Structure 1
């Protein structure tokens, strides 16, 4: 496929991944290779799924270890190969502790501890954090290393064990819901209210490429948001547009959002 056509629907920052993903698809279709990727974020999964569907001789399966997984591994293979029998290579890292401070740990604490051991983010899937510990979905090939070396998360001493996927305890992400009254559903307007920043302070980070909508970098502050969109702003967190609930008598739009906590 010509490169201009390959890149047509993707952001320039995504070109390196598009090239890699297309190579996986071509090698599966033409060289009959089977490839299992690391964990992909939702945008990368969308790109790979889109490219695989463009090639009639390639097939793809995405699996993150649970039905609602955000980050997923992919298997790319020739279209004649049954993918359901291919192992996805995901284990559960169970982190626990007798230290009462474990109840204060959050997603960032656990992720930071894992990355601090030299693990690449791509080897880690979703993290399910509870008051008594965490179940982290991981690439099975790093399970023994983490079981041996993960001894501390933030200030709490911990122990780690590796479990099969069937023993995963899922935790649904918490959303702090708020109803906003906005002039329009423009990205800068909704995000400034959601993050409690002035419109002037929200525009610069958006234009600098620090904002993603549905995991795709967006640099235009005027992009309209719709129900279901997930917006993240580096350094400020992320929120989801849960519903657009109508227009008030004064002409303002009521939008219900959920901030990830």
Structure 2
């Protein structure tokens, strides 16, 4: 497998990560090295899996702390290594407060507080907002630092505790359902309706590389979306195409959207 040959399969903005993942796989195959990554988003996990599958002398395992995790760590190792029992290095950071103000806190508040401590995003897995606080999956090497230093979230004073994975409490993803009638399944048109922006204002972030479809950079505003696609636009949020429900009498397309809240 030649490194230059794989670039054609990925977006130019992904080249830096592709280089990194390629090196991990090559070192596992040729130098018998084991690499435990930080948390990867689904697109990064796809890249790692693709490269590992192309090399018969390397293997990998993914784990995000629970079965349906979106963000996962990977272990990349020589193909003869048994990876099922390898420690993935994931801890649960429980954040709680006794003043009853958690009703006003959301995923972004917790993430902002953690990143505000100088923590890299890669050290953070899924965050589950609960009635009494949140459970956040973090790399074990970052856990103690967060436990000792996270004392406030959006002006709310908090306490933290480190828990084993079997104490993790997960939350259900909340989607605000929207019923749209659109001229076509073009990405720019649907994004415009979901975020209530003009078509002209939507084009700027798309063409600037701030939009992803299924975690892959997408700069073509005319790209047709399909059922199941997850679209995110930096600074605005993300949504999923839940269903394409048919054509109206006037020729427009009925689409059901789930907007992440």
Name the TM-score, length of structure 1 as normaliser. 0.98
Q: Structure 1 CA distance, aligned partners of 2:97 and 2:63? A: 29
What is the CA deviation profile of residues 19-68 of structure 1, one whole-angstrom value per residue up to 9, with x for unaligned ones?
A: 00000001111111111000001111111111111111111111111111
What is the CA deviation profile of residues 115-163 of structure 1, one whole-angstrom value per residue up to 9, with x for unaligned ones?
A: 1111111000000001310000000112111111111111110000100
Is 1:169 matched up with 2:178? no
Give structure 1 stretches of 5+ with no counterpart.
none
Q: Structure 1 CA distance, aligned partners of 2:85 and 2:100? A: 42
Q: Structure 1 CA distance, aligned partners of 2:201 and 2:50? A: 35
1:197 is matched with which residue?
A: 197
What is the CA deviation profile of residues 50-101 of structure 1, one whole-angstrom value per residue up to 9, with x for unaligned ones?
A: 1111111111111111111111000001111111011111010000001221
Deviation of the 1:233 alpha carbon = 1.0
Q: What SS is found at the alignment partner of 2:68?
A: coil
1:90 is matched with which residue?
A: 90
Q: What SS is found at the alignment partner of 1:8?
A: helix
1:50 is matched with which residue?
A: 50
Count matched residues: 261
1:4 is matched with which residue?
A: 4
Q: Any residues of structure 2 matched to 1:27-46 within 5 Å, and which?
A: 27-46=27-46
Q: Any residues of structure 2 matched to 1:106-185 within 5 Å, and which?
A: 106-185=106-185
What is the CA deviation profile of residues 211-258 of structure 1, one whole-angstrom value per residue up to 9, with x for unaligned ones?
A: 111111111100111111111111111100111111112211111110
1:79 is matched with which residue?
A: 79
Q: Structure 2 CA distance, aligned partners of 1:213 and 1:199? A: 18
Q: Any conservation in 2 of the 1:147–1:162 contact (CA below 8 Å)? A: yes
Name the TM-score, length of structure 2 as normaliser. 0.98
Give structure 2 stretches of 5+ with no counterpart.
none
Q: Structure 1 CA distance, aligned partners of 2:234 and 2:119? A: 21
Q: Any conservation in 2 of the 1:104–1:131 contact (CA below 8 Å)? A: no
Q: Structure 2 CA distance, aligned partners of 1:252 and 1:47? A: 36
